[in-house]
Structure 1
Amino acid sequence: LERWAARALEVAKIETLGVLAGGVAHDFNNKLAAMVVQTEFAMFELQETESKARPLLEDCRRIALEASRLCDQLLAYAGKSELKRKKVDLNQFILQAEPNLQKIPGTTKITFDLNPEPVMVRVDQAQLLRVLVSLVANAKEASEGLELDIVVATWVDEAANTCGFSITDFGPGIAPEHLSKIFDPFYTTKFTGRGLGLATSLGIVRAHGGTIEVESKPNRGTLFEVALPALARADRPVLVVEDEAGLRQKYRQALEDRGLSVIEAATGEEALERIDEFQDALSLIILDLVIPGPQGAQLLGLIRETYQSLPVIVASGYQAEAFPELPPCQAYLLKPFNRKQLVQAVDEVCKAS
């Protein structure tokens, strides 16, 4: 119980720091952007002269850009960076990153233990590369001067619908008094560096809906494990029936991030047309009961007349009791629900079917 309470406090601390860091970084970035623009205007005015002020202005511009990159790291920690996701096999991603990893200073050797099957995720490759490089650099620093291997591995946990990669070093380990603070912004046990590498990595992984776990024992080494939502392997599309365009878009994004293809319908008539068009090719239907055209028990009844075994998840702002004649469905989601609840319901229905 104490361990779970400590974990809850740690999560709350990270979220609070993230909100603070994101707000500060956003405001500072705006000020720095204005500073860079004004400096460039001043440099333009001096371009035809040999003024001694020009080199000073160039230094000001360079320093402002460096400060802006620091703000970008804080935004990444806060989970505010824009993500450009695409389907990626983590095995191939790591192999392609190997040249960059080998260039990281250090005396240790990197070995790979990759899952025999593809490890599919939907991620921003550039952002995830920052995480991988940061964790490997951290492991190399921890093992500095020791001729020990660092192991980069990939894994899949089908039961938890997660997958990811881990970095293991066999160095001196992390002292217990430091372990709970290593993801704090600017926390570092080194004399050099700003201590943002691990904090930024945590923010990037959390923005992808994942987690970073760390285990360390004195004189035994340290394991960092990055867990990400696994990409579902489904060729058959999901039909989303929802009259609110904004909600349809949110459902689509959540399902596509899960690796599912999506088709949409805004009315009862459109839903029946899509079902007739795709028939058994559909994997399931997410159905809002209050929409234009046939709706509620009538619409689900029409679906059940022809497709008795087609899985249906009802998504409604009304309690199920409001539809006493509603035919059976595989799950009932009461609005408002979050992304995690939607994906969990879809995963459970897909498994059961």
Structure 2
Amino acid sequence: MGLIRPFQLWTLLFILVAMSTTALYGIFLATDAVRQEAREQFFQQYNRQQLLMAEQASAALEVFFVSLNRSLGLVTSLFEDHPVDNNRAREIQGSLFKLNESLADSAIIDLVVFDSKGTVVAIQPSDPYTLGRNYAWRDYYLWARDTGKPGQMYVSPFLKLEGGQNRGDKALIVAQGIYSPDSSFKGVAMFTVNFDELARKHILPVRLGENGYAWLADINNKTLLVDPHGAVAGRSFEEAFLPQWPKLYSLLTSAQYGGSGTDWYSYEDPTDHSQAVRKLLGYQILELSDHLWFIGVATPEREVDKLLSSFLRRQETVSLTLVISILAVTVVVSGLLLAWNRMLSRRVDARTSALAKARSQLEHTFDELLESKKLAAVGHLALGLTHEIRNPLSAIRMNIKMIRKKWQPEGRLQEHFSIIDDEILRLNRLLSDVMDFARPGPLRLEKQNLNDIVQRVNLLLTQRFEEEQVAIETRMPNPLLVVCDAEQIEQVLLNLIINALDAMKEIETEKQLSIVGSCKGNQVFIRVTDNGCGIRPEDRDKLFDPFYTTKPAGGGLGLCNLQGILLRHQGAVDIVEKEGPGTCFRIRLPITPTAMANKDDLTDTGHF
């Protein structure tokens, strides 16, 4: 092999240097592109995290106001069939006290009830200064009197209290009108909410990094409600943001018709108020009554950049010192970035799923607790009324028997006596239903096949199916085993099927009834579906309330009783949307109730 000439050597070195320089330049360009892509992706993920935090804060506020509305609904129900006056307020003072105590850990200042003229008849905690004063000029009273509807919630704008023990505090008023069954105005029930405490619980704790925080604005009144730095809180959008921060002003004023999203805006630097800084923003719009609140979580962009700086510096060092291996390092770094991005996405998705599940479980537990408290209160009242009615009713029946035995009436007089007997028996049956509702029997839990229970119910109603020409379809897995009280579950199914038959009485098309069972995880579901007249939307929220009925001859306890049975089984009943006419009720039962899950002495016969 011959020696390489100097000219050839320099030519080769020049070619190698040129190729290396070109490769290095291309690598730097590629590295810069990868760096920029990683930065944008990280910004997107960071903004999604801010959006998630805004959604969580919005959900917490929404749950808080929904619970207030439900509590106000309980207060208004105590006055629905009674006058709103001092006497009635004294009668239910204990109930109002307990309700207010149950909200002691929230941001509630007080619970106030006004009569139809705007005079305070009840207040918890007691405040002699406020009791008896008239507030008929207040917006919430005028709203309830002139435009409010039963069950509708009023939320006031941000205000400062002008009187009472909390004078000068920042507050919100959450109110609900009190109306008679014919929707005539009777008064107002309201909560005063400590706004500073509400912000401390749900807005100010939201932090991200050193300078990432949440803020709250009222879009309708164009006012900034919560600003952790206190620089612009309480000021209007025009005063705070226009013309110095026009993008933020435009974002707030145009967000009325949006739901949630991410964006950015320029604003003052939290470390140097004389300088401007670009901030990343995740926001959620919360609708409260006729108000829209803007919940934003913002972090300076440079703080997000700092999270990537050390990694990017190491990448640049490797790119400068390892020329030969720079391509491989770039590929590896890119792979690490993509893997990190996927890992971060999985973590965010897992956290989102966990929070959604926790929220769903919390709402479900709250609804069941509220329903149980309501049923217990109504049941206690019903038990007393049943005792007071049944005694004179028995005396009436005994005296009717004595009169008939002595006088032996005939003709039309005998018919009238028979009518009296029938009505007494009907009232006794209604009182028995009330007793079952108010004092349910103990559960006799055994392992049961729901197929057997459904077949027994169908057998009981066979004659009615034939008389009313109802086509029934039953699809149940066999076996479908659960631990339950067979008699009470049979009563639940019988009640739902009879309701379905009553709903199909007036239809002219073919009457169809289906009973479909299924099993998912540790839950068993049974759907009872008909093609009858259906349920009006305004009746759905009240369908399971005691004594509420749409039937002329109904007592209003059937659905309430079956709901109580299922709650005692740790189950539930709800209405499922369906296509076409009719109604679909869904029963949910645990295969094994929680209280029984740890017992291992279940015998072959199914007894514990």
TM-score interval w.r.t. the shorter chain? 0.5 to 0.7
Amino acid at match of 1:68: N
Structure 2 contact 571–589 (Cα < 8 Å) conserved: yes
Give a deviation string over 1:270-326, Cα, whole Å, max 9, x none. Answer: xxxxxxxxxxxxxxxxxxxxxxxxxxxxxxxxxxxxxxxxxxxxxxxxxxxxxxxxx
Give a deviation string over 1:232-288, Cα, whole Å, max 9, x none. Answer: 8xxxxxxxxxxxxxxxxxx9xx43x9874279xxxxxxxxxxxxxxxxxxxxxxxxx
In 1, distance between residues paired with 2:575 and 2:485? 21
In 2, distance between residues paired with 1:152 and 1:223? 10
TM-score by length of 1: 0.54
Q: CA deviation at 1:138?
A: 2.3
Matching residue of 1:66: 426
In 2, distance between residues paired with 1:229 and 1:258? 14
Structure 2 contact 386–435 (Cα < 8 Å) conserved: no
Match for residue 483 of structure 2 among 79, 101, 121: 121
The sequence identity of aligned pairs, in percent, is: 23
In 1, distance between residues paired with 2:510 and 2:561? 28
Q: Any gaps of 5 or more consecutive residues in structure 1? A: 233-250, 264-353
Amino acid at match of 1:225: R
Structure 1 contact 175–218 (Cα < 8 Å) conserved: no
Deviates more, 1:40-49 or 1:104-113: 40-49
**Structure 2 residue 432 is matched with structure 1 residue 85:** no
Q: CA deviation at 1:132?
A: 1.0
Give a deviation string over 1:156-214, Cα, whole Å, max 9, x none. Answer: 23x3x232422122455433322222112333344453333322221222233321021
Matching residue of 2:471: 109
Quickly say closer, same or farther: Cα 1:220–1:259, change in 2 above 3 A. farther
Matching residue of 1:22: 379
Matching residue of 1:130: 491
In the TM superposition, 1:129-208 aligns within 5 A as: 129-143=490-504, 144-157=507-520, 159=521, 161-171=522-532, 173-208=534-569
In 2, distance between residues paired with 1:258 and 1:42? 56
Match for residue 457 of structure 2 among 77, 97, 102: 97
Quickly say closer, same or farther: Cα 1:44–1:199, change in 2 above 3 A. closer
Q: CA deviation at 1:44?
A: 7.5
Matching residue of 2:586: 225
In the TM superposition, 1:236-315 aligns within 5 A as: 254-255=595-596, 260-261=600-601
Q: CA deviation at 1:43?
A: 6.4
In 2, distance between residues paired with 1:93 and 1:166? 14
Q: CA deviation at 1:113?
A: 0.5
Amino acid at match of 2:442: L
Q: CA deviation at 1:95?
A: 1.1
Structure 1 contact 172–218 (Cα < 8 Å) conserved: no
In 2, distance between residues paired with 1:217 and 1:118? 24
Q: CA deviation at 1:57?
A: 8.2
Quickly say closer, same or farther: Cα 1:44–1:150, change in 2 above 3 A. closer
Amino acid at match of 2:526: F
In 2, distance between residues paired with 1:217 and 1:174? 12
Q: CA deviation at 1:47?
A: 8.1
In 2, distance between residues paired with 1:258 and 1:106? 47
Structure 2 contact 450–479 (Cα < 8 Å) conserved: no
In 2, distance between residues paired with 1:175 and 1:165? 22
Quickly say closer, same or farther: Cα 1:229–1:46, change in 2 above 3 A. same
Larger Rg: 2
Q: CA deviation at 1:82?
A: 0.8
Q: CA deviation at 1:17?
A: 3.7
In the TM superposition, 1:35-54 aligns within 5 A as: 35=392, 37-39=394-396, 42=399, 49-50=406-407
Amino acid at match of 1:197: G
Structure 2 contact 578–584 (Cα < 8 Å) conserved: no
In 2, distance between residues paired with 1:124 and 1:138? 20
TM-score by length of 2: 0.34
In 2, distance between residues paired with 1:41 and 1:227? 45
In the TM superposition, 1:333-348 aligns within 5 A as: none
Structure 1 contact 107–146 (Cα < 8 Å) conserved: no
Quickly say closer, same or farther: Cα 1:44–1:186, change in 2 above 3 A. closer
In 1, distance between residues paired with 2:394 and 2:553? 31
SS in 2 for 1:225: strand
Quickly say closer, same or farther: Cα 1:260–1:231, change in 2 above 3 A. farther
Structure 2 contact 528–584 (Cα < 8 Å) conserved: yes
SS in 2 for 1:49: helix
In 2, distance between residues paired with 1:193 and 1:209? 27
Structure 2 contact 449–480 (Cα < 8 Å) conserved: yes
SS in 2 for 1:182: coil
Matching residue of 1:286: none
Amino acid at match of 2:392: M
Structure 1 contact 185–195 (Cα < 8 Å) conserved: yes
In 1, distance between residues paired with 2:554 and 2:579? 23
Structure 1 contact 173–222 (Cα < 8 Å) conserved: yes
Q: CA deviation at 1:94?
A: 0.7
Q: Any gaps of 5 or more consecutive residues in structure 2? A: 1-58, 68-362, 604-608
